[in-house]
A and B are shown apart, each in its own frame.
Chain A
Amino acid sequence: DVKVTQSSRYLVKRTGEKVFLECVQDMDHENMFWYRQDPGLGLRLIYFSYDVKMKEKGDIPEGYSVSREKKERFSLILESASTNQTSMYLCASYGSTETYNEQFFGPGTRLTVL
């Protein structure tokens, strides 16, 4: 079974703090993603990575950066957290099963910035 884990389910930080969200997958997938999800807006892509040390901006990269030093780990960094970054953050990896190519999601991290 593919497993994507995220370092925290719930996180509370203060405005201006540097925040690290960690994601680990155990299926040797090359492609990994960070999304944020807000009510009524679906999932919005922040960044994705198609290989170690490779990254591409998604639709809403402002205020975020990412790091992919190892294949299994993809980190999202909020350099200076702001209240408008309060959201659910979802990490995913992308790979093949016997039949399909699909994304596998982690459980999410609900971040609150005060």
Chain B
Amino acid sequence: LAKTTQPISMDSYEGQEVNITCSHNNIATNDYITWYQQFPSQGPRFIIQGYKTKVTNEVASLFIPADRKSSTLSLPRVSLSDTAVYYCLVRPYTGGFKTIFGAGTRLFVKA
């Protein structure tokens, strides 16, 4: 299973764009990159998933360079409610049962 490394914490202000980068140097050819968000006292929830280049949905964008050894989660114009822990995961698209979560990145958005 590919190991991921991401910053422990980040601070931002409301209205700013936030980019959280995750390193996954030993990503395998059939691995996808998935990001989850977790608020206090809740279970994580899925944000976005991608394999290469760029993926965008209503919540975030995910940028993946050609070598796929890293990825960047981009949150546009954050608000106070985006304060949460963000987890980056790398696993096969199918059969990725033994999903490993790291410590995540704690994002704190200030007014």
Please report A residues at the B interface, Cβ cutoff 8 Å.
4, 31, 33, 35, 40-45, 48, 50, 56, 58-59, 88, 90-92, 94, 99-108, 110
Which residues of the other chain, A, contact B98 by a CB distance below 8 angstroms? Answer: 45, 48, 56, 58
Instruction: Indicate the size class of the contact surface on chain B.
Output: 20 to 34
Which of A43, A44, A101 makes the CB contact (< 8 A) with B44? Answer: A43
Which residues of the other chain, A, contact B43 by a CB distance below 8 angstroms? Answer: 4, 90-92, 105-108
Tell me whether A94 and B97 are in contact in the complex, defined as CB-CB below 8 angstroms, given that A42-B87, A43-B44 are known contacts.
Answer: yes
Interface on chain B toward A: helix, strand, loop, or mixed SS?
Answer: loop
Which residues of the other chain, B, contact A33 by a CB distance below 8 angstroms? Answer: 97, 99
CA distance A58 to B8 in the complex (A): 24
Please report B residues at the A interface, Cβ cutoff 8 Å.
32, 34, 36, 41-46, 49, 87, 93-94, 96-104
Which residues of the other chain, B, contact A44 by a CB distance below 8 angstroms? Answer: 101
Can you pick out 24 interface pairs between chain A and chain B where the beta carbons lie within 8 Å of each other? A4-B43, A41-B103, A42-B101, A43-B44, A48-B98, A56-B97, A59-B100, A90-B43, A94-B97, A94-B99, A100-B46, A100-B49, A101-B32, A101-B49, A101-B94, A101-B96, A102-B46, A103-B36, A103-B44, A103-B99, A105-B44, A105-B45, A107-B42, A108-B43
Interface on chain A toward B: helix, strand, loop, or mixed SS?
Answer: strand
CA distance A56 to B97 in the complex (A): 10
- Interchain CB contact under 8 A, B93 and A101: yes
- Nearest CB in chain A: distance from B76 CB, A: 20
